Amino acid sequence: MKIQGAVALITGAAEGLGKAFSEELLKRSARGVSIVDYNSAKGKATEDELNKKYGEDKVRFFQCDVTSKDQLEDAFSKTLEHYKGIDIVCNNAGIGDEINWERTVDVDLVAVMRGTFLARQMMDKKNGGRGGIVINIASMAGMLPMPLAPAYTAAKHGVLGFTRAIAIGDRVFNPKNVRINCLCPSFSETAILEGMRELIKHPVAKAIYGSELETIPVSMVAEGFIQLVEDDSKHGEVMRCTPQNGIDYKKYRDWVPSKL
């Protein structure tokens, strides 16, 4: 899709990947970006920084706990009201807390599903929307088990499976209405990685990842994100970003229902 003039809503966008996604959209003349984040101080700082750099009212910050149905719906509604439409939704907010594992599943999976359903409601052309694209951020932990982080692994597997399933079976999600894709980055230098440093130092993790963890730059993930937004042929795809292969797509066996 054409980014110029588009409106985006991105969760977990006060810093890290979400902030990088926002800035890449603004560089390409997006009409506006709603930054939805729990951290009010960082969110307001990012709003001020990007508005100063790209123009007044380009960015709106909404403080939101994505696990709250009411707060997330309010962020969507206020974005729609202010910018008169939503074209791009990125469910990016994530944590990696294995102690409070229920919170990890709520943020990393349940909120992604809720954000997807809100996007479907507000972007569906048959419901008065403009169509567009939803990008759900999973992880390479959504393809391979991440030792010592079973809750995070389960949540990210869920995001990948949910995205692929809804791309196939839902009437709204199709290339002519609202496309949907999944982005699975490897480890990158973000706050979530910093929070997992102690787990990665564990002997079991070292045996798998090596003594020096190889990461990818945030810029690579942002590049992949922009590719998914701009390429209208991509629907139901799973993009990977890894140190070994850069940006590529996971190939799955074609699935065609015997009875439709």
CA distances from 233 to 144, 147, 226 (A): 26, 35, 13
- Catalytic position from the list 38, 152, 249, 252: 152
Q: What is the DSSP string of 158-211?
A: HHHHHHHHHHHH-SS-STTSEEEEEEEE--BSSHHHHHTHHHHTSHHHHHHH-S
Strands 7-11 and 178-185: unpaired
Active site residue 83: no
Tokens representing residue 34 in the block? 């709603």
**Cα 148 from Cα 182, distance rounded (Å):** 24
Please give the positions annotated as active site.
152
